[in-house]
Structure 1
């Protein structure tokens, strides 16, 4: 799967949430509401999730393998840094 588009829909400068992102794969599948979170030691991605009746959150969509997760995080964070941290 190839990432064909990355759009930043909401960008924050305060708090832990840095941005909400939409990513398109192969020009045919879009995943919305991926979050860029400012963690203790680095930025990371949080996949879209839903609160379950027991109060826990469960991912709605997520990479199944680590290779796509690493590629997705690297490309999205590189684009974020290039657009907003220069």
Structure 2
């Protein structure tokens, strides 16, 4: 398996969310809505998930082994860390867009 493209974006999210990403695998399969989270021990990548009726979150897509999880996390974090920091104007604009939704 080869991650052939990573698209990442910084966000001024609530709580610890600092970015969103999508990966393309082998130029033929895309996984959207990977989240870059600021954790106690640094950044990590959370897989796409949805909230269940009981309030728990369940992954929609996820790697089934440690090697693949590490490969995805490394690719996403490398792309994310190359992004410029959000400017104050972009943060204000993003907050305004969130209010309008």
Normalised by the length of structure 1, the TM-score is: 0.89
Note the residue ranges of structure 2 that are not aligned, 5 or more in a row. 86-101
Q: Please give the residue correspondences for 1:5-84 in structure 2 after superposition, counting only pairs within 5 Å.
A: 5-8=5-8, 10-13=9-12, 15-84=15-84
TM-align CA RMSD: 1.4
CA distance in 2, matches of 1:52, 1:19: 23
1:84 is paired with a residue whose SS is coil
* Larger gyration radius, structure 1 or structure 2: 2
Q: Which is helix-richer, 1 or 2?
A: 2
Offset of 1:40 from its aligned partner?
Answer: 1.1
Give unpaired runs (5+ residues) of structure 1.
Answer: none
Deviation at 1:13, TM superposition (A): 4.6
Aligned partner of residue 55 in structure 1, secondary structure:
coil
TM-score (norm 2): 0.77
Runs of 4+ displaced beyond 6 Å: none
Q: Which has the higher strand share?
A: 1
Higher relative contact order (CA 8 A, sep 6+): 2
